[in-house]
Amino acid sequence: MASIRRASSRLRPLIHFSTIRPITTTTKPSANAATAQVVEQMGTDQPFFPNEPFGPTIQTAIPGPKSTKAIEDLDKIFDTRSLNIIANYQNSFGNYIADLDGNVLLDVYAQIASIPVGYCNPALLASATSPEMASAMINRPALGNFPQHDWADILRSGVLRVAPKGLDQVFTAMAGSDANEVAYKAAFMWKRRQERGGPDVEFTADEISSAMNNQSPGSPQMSILSFRSSFHGRLFGSLSTTRSKPIHKLDIPAFDWPQASFPHLKYPLAEHASANAKEEARCLAETEDLIKNFHNTVAAVVVEPIQSEGGDNHASPAFFKGLREITRRHSVLLIVDEVQTGVGATGKFWAHEHWNSEDPPDMVTFSKKAQTAGYYYCNMDLRPNKPYRQFNTWMGDPAKTILFRAIIQEIERLDLVENTAQTGEYLYAGLERLAERYPGEIQNLRGRGQGTFLAWDSPRRDDFLKRAKGVGVNVGGSGERAVRLRPMLIFQKHHADIFLEATEKLISS
């Protein structure tokens, strides 16, 4: 821990913009002393960022008067019905988000699980203000045609440095939805190549003319299999694999693609081992049956290691290894969607590392905490047989890819994957104690051993989320009943203490 202390104190001078300053400067002078005292009490839990606020500050109801005015104004030009907090990010720091009325909340939602290493992170600030970032911002290339001279280096020293085991290639994209869709496109092209008999078999005249008319065989009636309650994005192809909530899908045309059941596990896991194993076997059998018999040939199966929007639904490593085995057996690709689970939150860099599988997925998609997106692969047959088949103007963004590299460096510098593992264990234990005390309020607590990627079902979930702001916490839900925790990777035990105290306050009243 000593090295971390030294490293973080080195960082302070990097926050030099007058408009970007840690909010501790606006909190009461005793804050630092109080922090020091707490640190001493907690022993090894040295704060990564000594100038982070000591705790939440609540000055007004949320939204307060200034926020209410700003929201009314924004609504004139931008739909605000899903607005949660109107934030001042320049006053936010570390795990704390600030609003316009002086309220400062502990943020365990983190922009829908997409802020990796804290607001106004000094190391990211250094990257964002570097000459190479400035060039990337103002000289954005069409990467497929005119990549920049250091593109290979940016990839190798960043996104590929953390490539999942067994995968060493990347196709870059913009966000989770299009990352999944380009992976699906690669899968369809690969599957048709298999059916054709290789990369050198030319397209037929019929394929060429029918494709231009959106008809088979050129535009084949093929499918991607996904799971009930899954979420893979909201564009037309990705939405066709999303099965989370009707509100995501209603009125939008969709492809006739199959869905298999995802295991409904019972908690605590140890008490239901046999029933859960049976449930997983049932879901695997259903998947295999669909692969064999669904009327539109399945090119790939897409799965989240933890269903992250659909209710924080988990399955065992055995389930996922079974899925890999089935997809191999039927020459179907396995795409693992790590858009929400990836980049450290589960106590591994990639959540699918928990499976301990020797046989890697064919593609792994990522976004959110990476601040960029894309898919990893290895098999060179997944490069289409001709150029311009997997192509678009920007094909990603060097600026965000440089930022991802800085995020990776910060994760390594502070050993943040280990931190989420340890803090997650601590947080889980605290929640387990609360669940014992308030069994009606904290049900089906899940995510043990998955870092801070924890969730439970609440009988009054929406009320819980809403009232949380009043006790200084910003927290989100998933599915119909789950409270989902998605803190940043810099969430530590002393933050967990604040969260646990707030949670008890909410569920005991």
Q: Which residues are marked as active site?
A: 231, 337, 368, 393
Question: Peptide bond before 63: cis, by omega within 30 degrees of 0?
Answer: yes
Helix (H, G, I), strand (E, B), or coil: what is residue 324?
A: helix
Nearer to a second copy, 234 or 448 (CB): 234
Question: Peptide bond before 50: cis, by omega within 30 degrees of 0?
Answer: no
| 394 in contact with a second copy (CB under 8 A) | yes
| 237 in contact with a second copy (CB under 8 A) | yes
Pairing state between β 373-377 and 455-457: unpaired
Nearer to a second copy, 236 or 278 (CB): 236
Binder among 31, 62, 183, 222 for a second copy (CB under 8 A):
222
For a second copy, the binding residues in 74-93 under the rule CB under 8 A are 74, 76-90, 92
Nearer to a second copy, 50 or 218 (CB): 218
Write down the least CB distance from residue 302 to a second copy, Å: 13
| 243 in contact with a second copy (CB under 8 A) | yes
| 135 in contact with a second copy (CB under 8 A) | yes
Q: What is the DSSP letter of 94?
A: B
Binder among 403, 454, 465, 483 for a second copy (CB under 8 A):
403
**Site track for a second copy across 112-131, x = CB under 8 A:** x-xx---xxx--xx-xxx-x
| 201 in contact with a second copy (CB under 8 A) | no
Kindly report the CA angle at 427 between 24 and 243, in degrees rounded to 5?
100
Rg of the chain's alpha carbons, rounded to an integer? 24
What are the distances in angstroms from CA 175 to CA 395, 397, 410, 458? 11, 10, 21, 31
By CB under 8 A, which span of 137-145, 312-320, 414-422, 428-436 interacts with a second copy?
Answer: 137-145
Nearer to a second copy, 187 or 445 (CB): 187
For a second copy, the binding residues in 34-63 under the rule CB under 8 A are none
Quote the tokens at residue 336.
């693992």
**Site track for a second copy across 16-35, x = CB under 8 A:** -xxxx---------------
By CB under 8 A, which span of 24-32, 41-49, 227-235, 464-472 interacts with a second copy?
Answer: 227-235
Q: What is the DSSP letter of 203?
A: P
Pairing state between β 313-314 and 306-307: antiparallel
In DSSP notation, 396-447 reads: S-HHHHHHHHHHHHHHHHTTHHHHHHHHHHHHHHHHHHHHHH-TTTSEEEE-
Write down the least CB distance from residue 126 to a second copy, Å: 10
Write down the least CB distance from residue 227 to a second copy, Å: 12
| 139 in contact with a second copy (CB under 8 A) | yes
Query: Which residue, among 332, 335, 240, 252, has the nearest Cα to 291 in the 3D structure?
Result: 332
Write down the least CB distance from residue 489 to a second copy, Å: 14
Pairing state between β 476-478 and 473-474: unpaired
Write down the least CB distance from residue 292 to a second copy, Å: 20
By CB under 8 A, which span of 132-140, 278-286, 449-457, 484-492 interacts with a second copy?
Answer: 132-140
For a second copy, the binding residues in 456-485 under the rule CB under 8 A are none
| 313 in contact with a second copy (CB under 8 A) | no
Burial readout 375-394 (b: 16 or more C-beta within 10 A, e: otherwise): bbbbeebbbbbeeeebeeee
For a second copy, the binding residues in 367-386 under the rule CB under 8 A are 367-368, 371, 383, 386
Write down the least CB distance from residue 92 to a second copy, Å: 7
CB contact at 8 A, 281 and 249: no
| 401 in contact with a second copy (CB under 8 A) | no
Write down the least CB distance from residue 395 to a second copy, Å: 9
Cross-strand partners of 303: 336
Q: Residues binding a second copy: what is the number (CB under 8 A)?
A: 125
By CB under 8 A, which span of 53-61, 209-217, 433-441, 450-458 interacts with a second copy?
Answer: 209-217
Query: Could you give the maximum distance between any two Cα atoms of the chain, in Å?
Result: 77
Burial readout 441-472 (b: 16 or more C-beta within 10 A, e: otherwise): bbbbbbbbebbbbbbbbbeebeebbebbbebb
Quote the tokens at residue 84.
């949660």
Query: Which residue, among 135, 124, 140, has the nearest Cα to 17 in the 3D structure?
Result: 124
| 393 in contact with a second copy (CB under 8 A) | yes
Write down the residue that tokens 């909340």 correspond to.
105
| 264 in contact with a second copy (CB under 8 A) | no
| 175 in contact with a second copy (CB under 8 A) | yes
Binder among 104, 174, 336, 431 for a second copy (CB under 8 A):
174
Nearer to a second copy, 168 or 436 (CB): 168
Q: How many of the other CB atoms lie within 10 Å of CB of 497?
A: 18
| 198 in contact with a second copy (CB under 8 A) | no
